[in-house]
A and B are shown apart, each in its own frame.
Chain A
Amino acid sequence: MQRRWYTAGSIIAGLAMIATACTGGTGGGGGGATSGEIIIASNQPTSGGDASDGLPAQNGIQFAVESKGTIKGFKLTFKGWDDTVNGTHDPQKGAQNIQEMIADAKILGMVGPNNSNVARAQIPIANRASFAMISAANTNECLTQTFDYCEKDTGSTPAKLRPNGTNNYFRIAAADTFQGPAAADFAVDTLKATKVAVWSDNETFGKGVADKFTAELVEKGGTVVARQDFDTKVTNDWKPFLTDAKNKGAQAIYAGATSGTKICIPRAQMKGILDVPYMVPDGGVNSQCIKDAADNAANMYGTVAAADANQNPDAKATIDAFTKRFPKKEDVGSYTFPAMDCANILIDAIGRAIDANGGKMPTREQVVKAVSETKAFKGTTGTYTFDKNGDPTSPTMAIFQTKGTDWAFVKQFGVGG
Chain B
Amino acid sequence: MVGQLRQARTAFVAAPIGRILSVLVLLVIVYVIFVLLTRIFDRGGGYFLQILIFGVANGAIYALVALGYTMVYGIIELINFAHGDLFTLGGFISLFLLPIVGADASKAGTAAIILPLIIVFLATMAICGAINVTIERVAYRPLRHAPRVAPLITAIGMSFILEGLMFLWKGPFNLPYPNLLPTASFTIAEATIHLRDIFVIVIAVVLMIVLSIFVSRSSLGKAMRATAQDQDATELMGIDINRTIAATFFIGAVLAGAGGTIFGLYYNTLVFDLGFSAGLFAFTAAVFGGIGNIQGAALGGLVIGIIIAFSDGYFESAWTQVVIFGILILVLVFRPTGLLGMRVPEK
Contacts and interface: CB of A to CB of B under 8 A. Distances in A.
A395 interface: no
Binding site of A, secondary structure by majority: helix, strand, loop or mixed? mixed
A241 B183 contact: no
A291 B47 CA distance: 30
A48 B172 contact: yes
Contacts of B134: none
A240 B316 contact: no
Interface residues of A, number: 38
Interface string A221-251: 0000000111101111101110110010000
Nearest to A262: B174
B173 interface: yes
Contacts, number: 96
A7 interface: no
A292 B176 contact: yes
Contacts of B167: 87
Contacts of A160: none
A154 interface: no
Interface residues of B, number: 40
Interface stretch (A71-79, A269-277, A407-415): A269-277
B109 interface: no
A190 interface: no
Contact of B47 (A47, A52, A243): A243
Contacts of B54: 237, 239-240, 243
B313 A231 contact: no
B106 interface: no
Interface in B279-321: 280-281, 308-310, 312-313, 316-318, 320-321
Contacts of A288: 173-174
A280 to B, nearest CB: 15
B272 A292 contact: no
Contact of B309 (A240, A259, A268, A295): A240
Contact of B273 (A86, A229, A262): A86
18 contacts: A49-B271, A229-B318, A230-B318, A231-B320, A231-B321, A234-B321, A236-B58, A236-B278, A237-B54, A240-B309, A240-B310, A243-B47, A243-B313, A244-B47, A265-B174, A271-B183, A272-B194, A291-B174
Given A229-B317, A243-B54, 20 more contacts: A49-B174, A84-B172, A228-B316, A231-B321, A234-B321, A236-B263, A237-B312, A239-B54, A240-B312, A240-B313, A241-B312, A243-B47, A244-B313, A247-B43, A272-B185, A288-B174, A291-B174, A294-B176, A294-B179, A294-B268
Interface of B: 43, 47, 50-51, 54-55, 58, 105, 167, 172-174, 176, 179, 183, 185, 192, 194, 263, 267-269, 271-274, 277-278, 280-281, 308-310, 312-313, 316-318, 320-321
